[in-house]
Structure 1
Amino acid sequence: MKKRYIMKQWIYIMAIFAVQALTMQSCKEEVPEASKPVELHSRVSPQGEAAKAVLYFWDSDTFQNNWLKGGGTDASPIFGPVSLQNEIDYYRHDGGRVLTVGMEYPSNETEYVYATGYAPEDALSISSDYKTLTVNADHMDGKTDFLCCDGNEDHKGSANDPFTKEEHELKFRHMTPRIRFVGKRDPVTYGVISVNNVKVTLHADNLYVPQSFGYYSNNNDKQQTYVAQDFQPITESITLEQETTNYIPANDNGLSLASCYVFCGGMPDGYAPFADAPAGSGAETVTLTMDIEADYSWYITDGNPVLFESPRWEKKTVEVQLEHGGNCFYPGYEYVVYITFKRESVILQGVQQNWDDGGIHYLPVAPPDNNNNY
């Protein structure tokens, strides 16, 4: 009897294990494969002001067959708006940080989703059909760097070809021109006079800011962006203060002081966002008028420079020679005004150049630690 009882118990236990195994197998078959969250990298290209952005995500059919071909009233994203928690460049691919979007890739691993967006988040408002970005009133002062994450084939991701690949990094482009002021010193001031706390007041002569940006798609239906429109003239001068308290170094590079983002004469005729600016004759110029002031200090060998005066120069003019874009400032290019401080005067020089990462565009913010910087 005892053996029979033990055998029954053993059969009972084995039956339980069998039922559990079948149940687990059944559950395993019913649970779908784990979905993959959308993560991505982003950057401002070329580099610019720090800004937070807004993103929208589109399914492949809507993006390819509707949004890029004119964006009808039924062209709507499948997800968004998504606000970046940090500035755009915080998530650069070469920095290794990712933005987790809050959505998942389609279950079909080869099905792409596409991303578009704009920045700064607090400066622009998007229309219900996603085709117009309106500039908020408090950002029409010429000091905002407006950016667009274009709709194009690179800004895409799928479960087996994700956004986190370097070639899919979201790149934000500049939608306005930039005027950048760079301070330099005449060699006669080296080791004698130190210069910092520069202030530039740019007169509002023929300068404009956009009130909105409108939908634009190129002829090949391959890219989409926004283009400045509805220009408003700057009626008051733009005052720009040096972004740091650093002294202008004693070298040929100088120190990048401050920037503004304005059009001169409105949008160039025939502007094409995805093409280089047309070559000009080099004879066209734009004249800028400004007031300049700075702190002059005596260079002291064993201590900090000692302030002795704050000179001001009014209505100084500079001609910026335009190599591209006719007689207007061209979006995505920068116009650099070099201010060379002499003992009792300033010399101005204006040049147009590509708005590129690296090179002369990025001058040192802090001077090296040696006596010649004063």
Structure 2
Amino acid sequence: MWNRKRRPVYCMIAMLLLAACSRNGYEELQVTDVPIMVNTSVAGTKAYAGSDDEAETGENVSGKLFFWYGNTYDELCAANTTKGPSPYFTYLMNDPIASFGLAENRWIDTGYSYIKDMDLYATGYAPRNMLVEDDALGFRKLHVEADRAEDVVHYDFLSCDAEDTRKGSLENPFGSASNELIFRHLTSKILVVALRHETMTNQVYVRKVQVDLSLTGEVPFHVPKTLEWRQRNGCWGYEVTETTEIHTPLELKDDTEDMIMVLQEKRVDSCYVCQPADAAVSQDIAVNLNVQAEYSYVQNFASSYLFHWSGENMRIQDASNPSGYITRFEPGYIYIIYLNFYKTGILITAEKAEWEDGGIHYVPVVPSQE
């Protein structure tokens, strides 16, 4: 019969045995009572604070974190054809990555504690609910799991890379600007913004903008299909190695009842695309726009009509490119298309902004002369 008085003794013996056991290759770990608490953020989310301040499902994603000690971190930053190595532990986030930034003054309590005299490193990926680890390679190869590619286009994909400076320890715990877990964008963002020209003041009102966006020449958009753990710019992280083609126009729309104010930007919608690594870059990218909006001469839209506008073969100028135009959608950039509504037409301009810190520059969208 179980003796209740002996339970504390048995529990203490079990705890000692557990401490002496090997865990994922870590032997005789001297676990402290200092909890491992980390901050997470997305690179450059504060770099552009224009018309995209509204929370977006595509960027409010949660991730999976991996924590590594000692030799396993060295193995992590080396080519491997197996699932290994094994992390010290993993953490599945439920809340968005950006909600635990230093600026928000919130930390993730991982439920684990630091080990004495050992540095702890962290990596990760997102969104965790759309990525499945490979049966053979585990975390080293991720597959996008979605019913339709049109669903994938509304999600950003992120990598928290392995960096030697991104570490914590008992003496220097996580929680400072130098070791915040920053996720890097693997996609390019296309954002559509609408505004009403001042000549429409008290005359014509606009709302419910919808844009069908396609590439000229039946060139498809691409979204991530496979991510692989690879070396990049001296460190290891995830890269998009396979993509899925989307041959139908991307539908971006604002379903709200809110009208567009004069000279005030209003977010319509956004999507996230990527470029195949082996895609030809000699040809300029040209876009087609098919725009529809609800117009009204009265503010309550009691009497309204549909306004249509379309433009084809529009290229985005890029002074840094020898051709003068963009030839690919680059990860970490936002391609912002502005729709400035007039009574009988639309003025189209575009802004190329960096998600990463480093400034904003403006480029117009101009029709091709071909």
TM-score bracket, shorter-length normalisation: 0.7 to 0.9
Give the alignment partner of residue 249 of structure 1, picking from 244, 257, 261: 261
For 1:124, which of 122, 126, 131 is the aligned residue?
131
How far the C-alpha of 1:200 sits from its partner, in A, is 1.2
- CA offsets per residue over residues 31-89 of structure 1, 9 Å max, x none? x99511111111112227111111111113221x2211224533221211x11121111
**Residue in structure 2 matched with residue 52 of structure 1 by the alignment:** 62
Shift of 1:172: 1.0
RMSD: 3.0
The answer to whether the 8 Å contact 1:318/1:348 transfers is no
Structure 2 unmatched ranges of 5 or more: 1-15, 17-29, 46-57, 362-370
Cα–Cα, structure 1 residues 139 and 358, in superposed 2: closer, same or farther, change >3 Å?
farther
Q: Return the match for 1:319 from 298, 315, 321.
A: 315
Q: Which one has a larger percent helix, Structure 1 or Structure 2?
A: 1
Conserved 8 A contact 1:194-1:299: yes
Structure 1 CA distance for aligned equivalents of residues 78 and 280 of structure 2: 20
Shift of the 259–215 alpha-carbon distance from structure 1 to 2, 3 Å rule, reads same
Aligned to 1:210: 224
Q: Percent identity?
A: 27
Partner of 2:367: none
- TM superposition shift of 1:137: 2.7
- Which residue of the other structure, out of 35, 45, 57, is the alignment partner of 1:37? 35
Give matches, 1:1-374, under 5 Å: 35-47=33-45, 49-63=59-73, 65-71=74-80, 73=82, 74-80=84-90, 82-108=91-117, 111-127=118-134, 128-138=137-147, 140-141=149-150, 142-203=153-214, 205-206=218-219, 207-218=221-232, 220=234, 223-242=235-254, 244-251=256-263, 254-263=265-274, 266-267=276-277, 285-298=284-297, 300=299, 304=300, 306-314=302-310, 316-324=312-320, 327-356=327-356
The AA in structure 2 aligned to 1:88 is I
Q: Distance in 2 between matches of 1:360 and 1:192?
A: 34
Alignment CA distance shift 1:131-1:49 (3 Å): same
1:199 positional shift: 1.1
- Offset of residue 99 of structure 1: 0.8
- Mapped to 1, the partners of 2:292 and 2:332 lie a distance apart of 29
Once residues 198 and 211 of structure 1 are traced to their aligned partners in structure 2, the CA distance between those partners, rounded to angstroms, is: 30
Which amino acid is the alignment partner of residue 131 of structure 2? L
Query: Quick check: which one's strand share is greater?
Result: 2
CA distance in 1, matches of 2:260, 2:98: 27
SS at 2:115 equivalent: coil
Looking at structure 2, the residues matched to 323 and 225 of structure 1 have their Cα atoms a distance apart, in angstroms, of: 30
3-state SS of paired residue (1:66): helix
Amino acid at match of 2:132: S
Query: Using a 3 Å threshold, how does the CA distance of structure 1 residues 360 and 231 change in structure 2: closer, same or farther?
Result: same
Mapped to 1, the partners of 2:339 and 2:313 lie a distance apart of 11
Once structures 1 and 2 are overlaid, which stretch shifts more, 224-233 or 65-74? 65-74
List runs of 5+ in structure 1 lacking aligned partners: 1-29, 272-282, 362-374
Deviations 1:288-308 (A, max 9, x none): 1122111223354xxx55452
Looking at structure 2, the residues matched to 106 and 34 of structure 1 have their Cα atoms a distance apart, in angstroms, of 6
Kept in 1: contact 2:31–2:114 (CA 8 A) = no
Contact 2:337 2:348 in 1 (8 A): yes
TM-score for the superposition, normalised by structure 2:
0.75
Runs of 4+ in 1 over 6 A off after TM superposition: 268-271, 357-361
> TM-score under structure 1 normalisation?
0.74
Query: 2:233, 2:357 → 1: CA distance?
Result: 28
Which structure would you say has the larger Rg? 1
